[in-house]
Amino acid sequence: MKFTCLKCNKEMVNTKAGNTEDGLTNTSFSCPECGSSFGLVTNAMETKAIRELVLHTEACSTPASTIIQWDKDAQARLSNIPEMVRSMAQKGIEKYASERGLNTITTDVMDKVKELYGM
Residues forming contacts to Zn ion in the complex (CB under 5 A) are 5, 7-8, 31, 33-34
Q: Give the neighbor-by-neighbor strand order of the sheet with 25-30.
A: 13-19, 25-30, 37-42
CB of 61 to Zn ion, least distance (A): 23
Nearer to Zn ion, 31 or 109 (CB): 31
Nearer to Zn ion, 12 or 97 (CB): 12
Distances (CA, A) of 98 to 64, 66, 104: 10, 7, 9
CB of 15 to Zn ion, least distance (A): 13
Nearer to Zn ion, 33 or 52 (CB): 33
CB of 32 to Zn ion, least distance (A): 8
CB of 84 to Zn ion, least distance (A): 41
Q: Which of 13, 11, 18 is nearest to 42 (CA)?
A: 18
Nearer to Zn ion, 31 or 102 (CB): 31
Buried b (16+ CB within 10 A) or exposed e, 91-100: eebbebbeee
Strand 13-19 relative to strand 25-30, pairing: antiparallel
